[in-house]
Amino acid sequence: MIDKRDLQPDAQVLASFYASEKLMPAKAFAALIGVKPETESQMRARRQTPPFFRSGATAFYRFDDVAEWLQQQRVDADCGQLGRRQAVKDLLG
């Protein structure tokens, strides 16, 4: 009979794999964007995060996907209310 402990991956092996694949656990992503892990989980369920992988109950993000997602979240400081009004005015002609 197989002992379940034999099936548990070694923490060091997992850490090495995550580093080689440049993967970030969901908890680290939550900390990076300044939200609670529960909030990150809700965002992920609503597909408001970068693409992710699942390994068991844990989600992981690729560093490159996180960097791209963060770039997409950028808001220019000079694009305030006046900028939006001008954009609408330009669209309406």
Distance from C-alpha of 74 to C-alpha of 12, rounded to nearest angstrom: 35
Decide: 74 and 33 in contact? Cβ < 8 Å.
Answer: no
pTM of the model: 0.65
pLDDT, tens digit (0-9, with 9 covering 90-100), for 25-49: 999 999 999 999 999 999 999 999 9
- Expressed as residue numbers, the domain containing 58 is 4-92
Number of H helices, E strands in the chain: 6, 3
The residue among 36 and 75 whose pLDDT is bigger is: 36
Decide: 68 and 50 in contact? Cβ < 8 Å.
Answer: yes
**How many domains would you assign to the chain?**
1
